Every structure is written in C-alpha cells, then in structure tokens.
Structure 1
Amino acid sequence: MSHWLIALLLVSGSFNSIFCVTRQQLKNTGKLMKKNCMPKNDVTEEQVGDIEKGKFIEERNVMCYVACVYTMTGVVKNNRLNNEAVTKQVDILFPPEMRDAVKAAADHCKDIGKKNKDLCEASYYTAKCMYEYDAENFTMSRIVFLLIFAAILYGSNALTKQQLKNSLKMIKKQCMSKNDVTDDLVGDIDKGKFIEQKPVMCYIACIYQMTQVIKNNKLNYESTLKQIDLMYPPELRGPVKEALEKCKDVATKYKDVCEASFWTAKCVYDTDPKNFIFA
C-alpha cells in the first residue's frame, strides 16, 4: 500500500512483501506501474529493475522515476515529500507488525528530503536511505500493497480480473512460506479445493490479512466491501458483494481467525464459484 515506500518497491518490479519474488512475477505485476513512470522518465529495466534489492543507479532519470512513483502515491505535497503524509499512510495501510519498523526508517530518513530541494534527488536519496536503514522491511513492504498501489495507479478502472489474479500470486508465496503449505494443499482453492487442515486455514487468513480485510484479528465486512470497490473490475463487484453478503455471518461462528477465514472463503466460493478469485 504507506504508499510511498511500497510504491517504490512495486515499481522496481514487485501484493507481497516479505520475500523475494521470481523475475516473471516481477514482470507480471511491475507492468501496473512501470508503464506509467518508465516512459515518462526514459529509464530501462536495467536501470530500475533491482531497486528493491538495493541497486540505486545515481542517474537523473532514475531519480525522477522514483519521484514519479512517489507523486502518484500521494505523498508529495507542494512538490516536496511530506513525512506526515507518509506516516499517515503507514498507519492506515501497513500491517500492525510492520508499522513501527517502517515508521522508524521513515523517521530516520525524513531530513534527507530537506537537504535536497530538487524533488527527484529528494525522492531518490530518501528511498536509498530507507533501504540502507532497513533493507528487510523495505523489500517486505512492496508486495503487501501491490493491489492498493495498482488500484491507485489505475484509478477508477481498478484491475482487470487477470491483473487481480496476477497480483494475488505475489501474496501467495509469502503466505505459503509463513504457514508451511504446499501448492498441492492451496493451489486449487480458487477452483473449490478447500482442504480442511489448520495450515491451510491459516494460509487463507494470511491472504486476508495481507489484503487488509482483517481488523483486530477478525474479518471485517466493511473493509472487505471497500477493497472490492477498490480492486475488483466493475463487472465483478456486484456478484462478489452478493456472495459476501450471504456469507458475512459465517465468521461470527468462529473465534479463531484461521477458521473464520477458511469457512468464509469456502462459503463465498460455494455461493458463486464463477466469480471467486483467490491466491
């Protein structure tokens, strides 16, 4: 999502985060933002494709490419990076366990922009500072908010169904690793294969958490509706909301967030398998 750091990582080729993604995954999702800022600043994949790995090429067009991303994510005010806007976005969009680390990096680097009146240089050296301060969370944040950033990038057009699927794939790797599940266990959830095992249940909860629909360790109906409006193609919003409406009370039967997530997802699939999308 928060947007400024996320966005930068996303652009460099990044809905995941915390893990290294494959080159092909980067290409699939990176198109969502690169197609806008790369042509505007005449940069190549070689120049900006490995920013999330710490490869900051000190060239003017690369600096302005980073600034372009920051501008698109709404943390540039009056042609300057705005630390208050960054902090606010972190509180709104970042998972609780990441907020302190990301804000610490932002706070550590907040004066970098003041030293550089030029927006391109300020953006570039701020991003570089944050990477050097906390490389782990710099990389982690990029995928978590891919969907959020993509929606911002595409505006009211949201994502196509295929773009949504591609973006969700980026979350999948992180949540699979975190919950020790294999593709045999979770690879066909979108086709209705719900294996009733605790790791699978917690994998689904992880996906929901990464897509910002879990609040206070519970599935949040209102947040889910907002994410549907933000991310889903217009033609899917109505049917998905209808399925969700029928299943919204399922989670109240389970105190455990993993079980609540699993049975809610299964209910939504059973209600409308045609329009069900999952990582």
Structure 2
Amino acid sequence: MKNIFLLLCLLYIYENVLAIMTEKQIEATKKLIRNTCINKQGVAPEKVDGMYKGEFDFSDKNSMCYMHCVLKTYKLIKKDNTFDWEEGINVMQTIAPPNIATPVIESIKNCKNAVKTDNKCTAALEIAKCLYDDDPEHYILP
C-alpha cells in the first residue's frame, strides 16, 4: 500500500511540477514578463513590437534595458553580463514542447558568444538580436 501511495505521489509531482508547458502557457508567461519589463523600464510598447520585426535600437537605453529585464527574469544573463546559454538550453528542454524547443535550442547554441560588450543593457540586446537574426520565425523573447 505504501508503494502505491508513493507511486501516486511521484506521478502527481511529475504531472504538475515537471510537465512541459503548453504554447498557451508559454504565451501567457511571455505576456506577463513583457508587461512587467515594459513598466519597469519605461520603454514604448512599439519599440518592443519592433523587435519582432528585427528592429533592435542600440541607441535607445530603455529598449536595451527592457531586454536586460527580460533576460534577467528568465535567468539567461549572468552577473558578468554574459549569455547563460546552458541555462537557456536547460529551460527549453524542461518546459517547452519539442516544436518550440528544438529550433530555439539551435539558436541559443549559435548565439552563445553573442555578447561583445560589458554594458549589461547592450549585452542583453546583443543576445536578443542574435537570437532573432539566427531564426526570426522562432524568436521567443517577449
């Protein structure tokens, strides 16, 4: 009886804690992070929308710091302002369905050396631009 109870507990934990997110859940999470970082950094929503079209404005500090907020929230930028690409791969393998994870992991690998500056906000935008340029169709940042 104890073994059955333990097995049921483990199945519950697996299903409810370790389960892959649905696309709807991923979109809801992106929207929450987007809204939080837009408000925190005071960036115009149009600037953020432009990033989905490949418009990365390195002259706009608010846009750059918005992306730093996003990457920091996802824990994808280290304290030394480098891309934590290993964590990015780990997160994608853990929470994303394969149709999302596979192409994004490829972009993450291709962008692991994207950072060319010490400035945290500029570094974040360099990472985002690299991810977009590598595969615009599968650009996943909010």
Alignment TM class, shorter chain as reference:
0.7 to 0.9
Q: Is the 8 A contact 1:243 1:268 kept in 2?
A: yes
Cα distance change, pair 228–180 in 1 and its aligned pair in 2 (3 A): same
User: What corresponds to 1:198 in structure 2?
Assistant: 61
Is the partner of 1:187 in helix, strand or coil? helix
**Matched letter for residue 114 of structure 2:** V
- Correspondence for 2:104 among 213, 230, 240: 240
Task: Give distance in 2, aligned partners of 1:162 and 1:265.
Answer: 22
Aligned Cα root-mean-square deviation (Å): 2.2
Structure 2's unaligned 5+ residue stretches are 1-11
Matches within 5 A, 1:40-189: 153=16, 155-156=18-19, 158-189=20-51
Q: Is the 8 A contact 2:104 2:140 kept in 1?
A: no
**Matched letter for residue 105 of structure 2:** K
Q: Indicate the percent of aligned positions where both proteins have the same amino acid.
A: 29
Larger Rg: 1
Is structure 2 residue 86 aligned with structure 1 residue 231? no
Task: Give distance in 2, aligned partners of 1:154 and 1:234.
Answer: 18
User: What corresponds to 1:249 in structure 2?
Assistant: 113
Looking at both structures, which has the greater relative contact order when contacts are Cα pairs under 8 Å and sequence separation is at least 6? Answer: 2
* Residue-pair matches, total: 129
Q: Is the 8 A contact 1:159 1:233 kept in 2?
A: yes
Task: Give distance in 1, aligned partners of 2:25 and 2:52.
Answer: 15
Superposition TM-score, scaled by structure 2 size: 0.79
Deviation by residue 1:112-166 (Cα, 9 ceiling, x = unmatched): xxxxxxxxxxxxxxxxxxxxxxxxxxxxxxxxxxxxxxx983634x123332122
Structure 1's unaligned 5+ residue stretches are 1-71, 75-150
Report the Cα offset of residue 188 of structure 1: 3.6
